[in-house]
Protein backbone atom coordinates (compact mmCIF):
# COMPACT_ATOMS: atom_id res chain seq x y z
CA UNK A 1 0.00 0.00 0.00
CA UNK A 2 2.81 2.43 0.88
CA UNK A 3 4.55 1.59 -2.41
CA UNK A 4 1.40 2.28 -4.43
CA UNK A 5 0.90 5.57 -2.56
CA UNK A 6 4.46 6.69 -3.32
CA UNK A 7 4.15 5.59 -6.97
CA UNK A 8 1.04 7.71 -7.54
CA UNK A 9 2.70 10.77 -6.05
CA UNK A 10 5.82 10.21 -8.15
CA UNK A 11 3.68 9.97 -11.28
CA UNK A 12 1.91 13.24 -10.41
CA UNK A 13 5.26 14.94 -9.79
CA UNK A 14 6.56 13.84 -13.21
CA UNK A 15 3.35 15.05 -14.85
CA UNK A 16 3.77 18.42 -13.16
CA UNK A 17 7.32 18.75 -14.49
CA UNK A 18 6.23 17.74 -18.00
CA UNK A 19 3.49 20.39 -18.00
CA UNK A 20 5.62 23.18 -16.56
CA UNK A 21 5.11 26.66 -18.03
CA UNK A 22 6.10 30.29 -17.45
CA UNK A 23 2.90 32.21 -16.62
CA UNK A 24 4.50 35.50 -17.63
CA UNK A 25 4.88 34.21 -21.18
CA UNK A 26 1.80 32.01 -21.48
CA UNK A 27 -1.03 34.56 -21.49
CA UNK A 28 -1.95 37.36 -23.90
CA UNK A 29 -3.35 40.17 -21.77
CA UNK A 30 -5.82 42.46 -23.59
CA UNK A 31 -5.66 46.20 -23.00
CA UNK A 32 -9.14 46.12 -21.53
CA UNK A 33 -12.36 44.12 -21.23
CA UNK A 34 -15.69 44.88 -22.87
CA UNK A 35 -18.27 46.00 -20.30
CA UNK A 36 -20.96 44.16 -22.27
CA UNK A 37 -19.25 40.77 -21.95
CA UNK A 38 -20.00 38.16 -19.35
CA UNK A 39 -16.90 37.62 -17.22
CA UNK A 40 -18.47 34.95 -15.03
CA UNK A 41 -21.24 32.79 -16.52
CA UNK A 42 -24.70 33.72 -15.15
CA UNK A 43 -25.13 30.12 -13.96
CA UNK A 44 -22.14 30.47 -11.62
CA UNK A 45 -23.07 33.85 -10.19
CA UNK A 46 -24.32 34.19 -6.63
CA UNK A 47 -27.76 35.40 -7.80
CA UNK A 48 -28.39 32.33 -9.95
CA UNK A 49 -31.45 30.24 -9.10
CA UNK A 50 -32.98 33.04 -7.02
CA UNK A 51 -35.73 35.65 -7.62
CA UNK A 52 -33.15 38.35 -6.97
CA UNK A 53 -31.54 37.72 -10.34
CA UNK A 54 -34.77 38.91 -12.00
CA UNK A 55 -34.67 42.13 -9.99
CA UNK A 56 -31.45 43.21 -11.73
CA UNK A 57 -31.34 44.67 -15.22
CA UNK A 58 -28.95 43.19 -17.79
CA UNK A 59 -26.40 45.98 -17.41
CA UNK A 60 -26.18 45.41 -13.65
CA UNK A 61 -25.94 41.65 -14.13
CA UNK A 62 -23.05 42.11 -16.56
CA UNK A 63 -21.31 44.46 -14.10
CA UNK A 64 -21.89 41.98 -11.28
CA UNK A 65 -20.42 39.18 -13.39
CA UNK A 66 -17.17 41.17 -13.55
CA UNK A 67 -16.99 41.76 -9.82
CA UNK A 68 -17.96 38.17 -9.03
CA UNK A 69 -15.02 37.02 -11.14
CA UNK A 70 -12.71 39.50 -9.40
CA UNK A 71 -13.97 38.17 -6.07
CA UNK A 72 -13.44 34.57 -7.17
CA UNK A 73 -9.88 35.27 -8.32
CA UNK A 74 -9.19 37.26 -5.13
CA UNK A 75 -10.49 34.42 -2.96
CA UNK A 76 -8.36 31.98 -4.91
CA UNK A 77 -5.10 33.86 -4.58
CA UNK A 78 -5.64 34.57 -0.87
CA UNK A 79 -6.68 30.99 -0.20
CA UNK A 80 -3.71 29.57 -2.07
CA UNK A 81 -1.36 31.68 0.00
CA UNK A 82 -2.81 29.98 3.10
CA UNK A 83 -2.41 26.56 1.48
CA UNK A 84 1.25 27.25 0.81
CA UNK A 85 1.82 27.80 4.52
CA UNK A 86 0.32 24.40 5.34
CA UNK A 87 2.24 22.55 2.64
CA UNK A 88 5.53 24.26 3.50
CA UNK A 89 5.28 23.04 7.09
CA UNK A 90 5.23 19.42 5.94
CA UNK A 91 7.99 19.28 3.31
CA UNK A 92 10.58 16.68 4.35
CA UNK A 93 8.94 16.01 7.73
CA UNK A 94 8.23 12.64 9.32
CA UNK A 95 5.32 10.90 7.63
CA UNK A 96 5.49 13.07 4.51
CA UNK A 97 8.53 11.59 2.80
CA UNK A 98 6.51 10.30 -0.18
CA UNK A 99 4.77 13.58 -1.13
CA UNK A 100 7.69 15.93 -0.38
CA UNK A 101 8.87 16.18 -4.01
CA UNK A 102 5.31 16.78 -5.10
CA UNK A 103 5.01 19.51 -2.46
CA UNK A 104 7.89 21.39 -4.12
CA UNK A 105 6.02 21.34 -7.41
CA UNK A 106 2.79 22.29 -5.64
CA UNK A 107 4.47 25.38 -4.21
CA UNK A 108 5.83 26.41 -7.62
CA UNK A 109 2.46 25.99 -9.29
CA UNK A 110 0.51 27.77 -6.56
CA UNK A 111 2.95 30.67 -6.72
CA UNK A 112 2.23 30.91 -10.45
CA UNK A 113 -1.51 30.93 -9.77
CA UNK A 114 -1.20 33.69 -7.20
CA UNK A 115 0.73 35.74 -9.75
CA UNK A 116 -1.67 35.37 -12.67
CA UNK A 117 -4.86 35.82 -10.65
CA UNK A 118 -3.46 38.94 -8.97
CA UNK A 119 -2.33 40.21 -12.39
CA UNK A 120 -5.87 39.90 -13.74
CA UNK A 121 -7.35 41.66 -10.73
CA UNK A 122 -4.81 44.51 -10.86
CA UNK A 123 -5.27 45.03 -14.61
CA UNK A 124 -9.05 44.90 -14.82
CA UNK A 125 -10.43 45.49 -11.34
CA UNK A 126 -8.79 45.26 -7.94
CA UNK A 127 -7.82 42.67 -5.37
CA UNK A 128 -10.49 42.33 -2.73
CA UNK A 129 -9.13 42.15 0.85
CA UNK A 130 -8.30 38.77 2.31
CA UNK A 131 -11.22 37.19 4.16
CA UNK A 132 -9.88 33.63 4.40
CA UNK A 133 -9.75 31.77 7.69
CA UNK A 134 -6.64 30.16 9.10
CA UNK A 135 -6.31 26.46 8.31
CA UNK A 136 -4.88 25.77 11.77
CA UNK A 137 -6.87 23.15 13.69
CA UNK A 138 -7.79 23.67 17.32
CA UNK A 139 -8.37 21.16 20.11
CA UNK A 140 -7.59 18.12 17.95
CA UNK A 141 -4.80 15.60 18.40
CA UNK A 142 -1.98 16.18 15.88
CA UNK A 143 -2.86 13.46 13.38
CA UNK A 144 -6.51 14.49 13.22
CA UNK A 145 -5.62 18.16 12.98
CA UNK A 146 -3.32 17.45 10.04
CA UNK A 147 -6.05 15.47 8.27
CA UNK A 148 -8.45 18.37 8.78
CA UNK A 149 -5.92 20.80 7.28
CA UNK A 150 -5.49 18.66 4.18
CA UNK A 151 -9.23 18.16 3.79
CA UNK A 152 -9.70 21.92 3.90
CA UNK A 153 -7.13 22.26 1.13
CA UNK A 154 -8.90 19.59 -0.90
CA UNK A 155 -12.36 21.12 -0.48
CA UNK A 156 -11.09 24.60 -1.33
CA UNK A 157 -9.42 23.32 -4.49
CA UNK A 158 -12.39 21.21 -5.59
CA UNK A 159 -14.86 24.08 -5.22
CA UNK A 160 -12.55 26.31 -7.24
CA UNK A 161 -12.01 23.62 -9.84
CA UNK A 162 -15.77 23.33 -10.36
CA UNK A 163 -15.72 26.98 -11.45
CA UNK A 164 -12.51 26.56 -13.48
CA UNK A 165 -13.93 23.70 -15.54
CA UNK A 166 -17.12 25.59 -16.34
CA UNK A 167 -15.40 28.87 -17.21
CA UNK A 168 -12.51 27.32 -19.11
CA UNK A 169 -14.83 26.14 -21.87
CA UNK A 170 -17.52 28.86 -21.87
CA UNK A 171 -17.47 30.64 -25.24
CA UNK A 172 -19.34 33.63 -23.79
CA UNK A 173 -16.29 34.63 -21.76
CA UNK A 174 -13.23 36.60 -22.96
CA UNK A 175 -10.30 34.46 -24.09
CA UNK A 176 -8.10 35.61 -21.18
CA UNK A 177 -10.71 34.46 -18.64
CA UNK A 178 -11.00 31.07 -20.34
CA UNK A 179 -7.22 30.71 -20.58
CA UNK A 180 -6.62 31.45 -16.89
CA UNK A 181 -9.29 28.99 -15.81
CA UNK A 182 -7.94 26.26 -18.13
CA UNK A 183 -4.40 26.74 -16.85
CA UNK A 184 -5.55 26.60 -13.26
CA UNK A 185 -7.63 23.49 -13.84
CA UNK A 186 -4.68 21.70 -15.46
CA UNK A 187 -2.56 22.19 -12.35
CA UNK A 188 -5.35 21.75 -9.82
CA UNK A 189 -6.36 18.39 -11.27
CA UNK A 190 -2.97 17.08 -10.08
CA UNK A 191 -3.28 18.81 -6.72
CA UNK A 192 -6.70 17.28 -6.17
CA UNK A 193 -5.50 13.81 -7.14
CA UNK A 194 -2.56 14.09 -4.74
CA UNK A 195 -4.73 15.61 -2.03
CA UNK A 196 -7.09 12.66 -2.12
CA UNK A 197 -4.20 10.22 -1.85
CA UNK A 198 -2.74 12.09 1.11
CA UNK A 199 -6.10 12.42 2.87
CA UNK A 200 -6.78 8.68 2.52
CA UNK A 201 -3.33 7.89 3.87
CA UNK A 202 -3.71 10.21 6.86
CA UNK A 203 -7.16 8.83 7.61
CA UNK A 204 -5.93 5.23 7.47
CA UNK A 205 -3.15 6.00 9.96
CA UNK A 206 -5.47 7.65 12.47
CA UNK A 207 -7.26 4.63 13.85
CA UNK A 208 -10.69 4.80 15.45
CA UNK A 209 -11.89 8.22 16.60
CA UNK A 210 -13.61 8.75 19.91
CA UNK A 211 -17.13 10.25 19.74
CA UNK A 212 -15.72 13.52 21.08
CA UNK A 213 -12.97 13.62 18.45
CA UNK A 214 -15.40 12.85 15.65
CA UNK A 215 -17.79 15.58 16.82
CA UNK A 216 -15.03 18.21 17.06
CA UNK A 217 -13.61 17.17 13.67
CA UNK A 218 -17.00 17.44 11.94
CA UNK A 219 -17.81 20.76 13.58
CA UNK A 220 -14.55 22.37 12.47
CA UNK A 221 -14.89 21.00 8.94
CA UNK A 222 -18.47 22.29 8.80
CA UNK A 223 -17.35 25.74 9.95
CA UNK A 224 -14.73 25.84 7.21
CA UNK A 225 -17.18 24.76 4.51
CA UNK A 226 -19.72 27.35 5.68
CA UNK A 227 -17.17 30.16 5.70
CA UNK A 228 -15.83 29.19 2.29
CA UNK A 229 -19.29 29.17 0.70
CA UNK A 230 -20.26 32.47 2.29
CA UNK A 231 -17.12 34.11 0.92
CA UNK A 232 -18.71 33.89 -2.55
CA UNK A 233 -21.23 36.51 -1.36
CA UNK A 234 -18.87 39.42 -0.84
CA UNK A 235 -20.99 42.55 -0.21
CA UNK A 236 -18.26 44.68 -1.81
CA UNK A 237 -18.90 43.10 -5.21
CA UNK A 238 -22.62 43.96 -4.97
CA UNK A 239 -21.74 47.53 -4.10
CA UNK A 240 -19.22 47.74 -6.96
CA UNK A 241 -21.91 46.50 -9.36
CA UNK A 242 -24.18 49.37 -8.30
CA UNK A 243 -26.57 47.39 -6.08
CA UNK A 244 -27.95 49.42 -3.19
CA UNK A 245 -27.94 47.96 0.31
CA UNK A 246 -25.26 45.42 -0.54
CA UNK A 247 -25.41 43.80 2.89
CA UNK A 248 -29.17 43.42 2.77
CA UNK A 249 -28.90 41.97 -0.73
CA UNK A 250 -26.35 39.45 0.55
CA UNK A 251 -28.57 38.45 3.48
CA UNK A 252 -31.49 37.82 1.14
CA UNK A 253 -29.38 35.69 -1.17
CA UNK A 254 -28.13 33.48 1.65
CA UNK A 255 -31.73 32.71 2.62
CA UNK A 256 -32.70 31.48 -0.85
CA UNK A 257 -33.27 27.69 -1.15
CA UNK A 258 -31.86 27.81 -4.68
CA UNK A 259 -28.50 28.82 -3.28
CA UNK A 260 -28.34 25.81 -0.97
CA UNK A 261 -28.95 23.65 -4.02
CA UNK A 262 -26.08 25.36 -5.83
CA UNK A 263 -23.81 24.88 -2.82
CA UNK A 264 -24.49 21.15 -3.09
CA UNK A 265 -23.39 21.31 -6.73
CA UNK A 266 -20.17 23.18 -5.84
CA UNK A 267 -19.39 20.59 -3.17
CA UNK A 268 -20.49 17.56 -5.17
CA UNK A 269 -17.10 15.92 -5.72
CA UNK A 270 -15.90 16.66 -2.20
CA UNK A 271 -19.02 15.22 -0.61
CA UNK A 272 -18.81 12.08 -2.75
CA UNK A 273 -15.16 11.62 -1.77
CA UNK A 274 -15.83 12.09 1.94
CA UNK A 275 -18.64 9.56 1.79
CA UNK A 276 -16.84 6.93 -0.30
CA UNK A 277 -13.67 7.17 1.81
CA UNK A 278 -15.62 6.71 5.04
CA UNK A 279 -14.28 9.95 6.52
CA UNK A 280 -17.73 11.53 6.84
CA UNK A 281 -20.82 9.31 6.79
CA UNK A 282 -23.30 12.16 6.22
CA UNK A 283 -21.36 14.79 4.27
CA UNK A 284 -24.54 16.65 3.27
CA UNK A 285 -24.69 17.80 6.92
CA UNK A 286 -21.58 19.91 6.25
CA UNK A 287 -23.50 22.66 4.43
Residue 163, CA distances (Å) to 16, 29, 31, 122, 184 in order: 21, 21, 25, 21, 10
Each residue's pLDDT tens digit, 26-67: 999 999 999 999 999 999 999 999 999 999 999 999 999 999
What is residue 134's predicted lDDT score, i.e. its pLDDT?
56
Query: Would you place residue 68 in the very low, low, confident or very high pLDDT band (cuts 50, 70, 90)?
Result: very high
**pTM assigned to the model:** 0.95
How many CA atoms are closer than 13 Å to the CA of 273, on its beta-carbon side? 19
Do 260 and 286 meet the contact criterion of CB atoms below 8 Å apart?
Answer: no
**Domain covering 2-286, topology:** Ribonucleotide Reductase, subunit A (1.10.620)
Q: Rounded distance, CA 191 to CA 189, Å?
A: 6
Is 153's pLDDT higher than 80?
yes
What is residue 207's predicted lDDT score, i.e. its pLDDT?
87
Q: Rounded distance, CA 61 to CA 20, Å?
A: 37
Do 52 and 64 meet the contact criterion of CB atoms below 8 Å apart?
Answer: no
Q: With 0-12 CB in 10 A as exposed, 13-18 as middle and 19+ as buried, what is 273?
A: buried
What is residue 138's predicted lDDT score, i.e. its pLDDT?
60
Spans of all domains in the chain: 2-286
Each residue's pLDDT tens digit, 114-125: 999 999 999 999
Query: Would you place residue 2 in the very low, low, confident or very high pLDDT band (cuts 50, 70, 90)?
Result: confident
What is residue 1's predicted lDDT score, i.e. its pLDDT?
74
Is 137's pLDDT higher than 70?
no
What average pLDDT does the structure give for the chain? 95
Each residue's pLDDT tens digit, 234-269: 999 999 999 999 999 999 999 999 999 999 999 999
Each residue's pLDDT tens digit, 190-201: 999 999 999 999
Amino acid sequence: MAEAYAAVLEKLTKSSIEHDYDPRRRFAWPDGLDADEWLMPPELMSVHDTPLAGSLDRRTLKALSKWELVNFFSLTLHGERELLMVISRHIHTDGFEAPSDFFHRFIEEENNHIWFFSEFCRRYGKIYPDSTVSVASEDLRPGLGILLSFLRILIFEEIGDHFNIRMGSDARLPSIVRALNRAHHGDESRHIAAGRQIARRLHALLGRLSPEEESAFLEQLKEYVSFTLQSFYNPQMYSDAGIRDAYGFRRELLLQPGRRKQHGVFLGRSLAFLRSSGMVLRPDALY
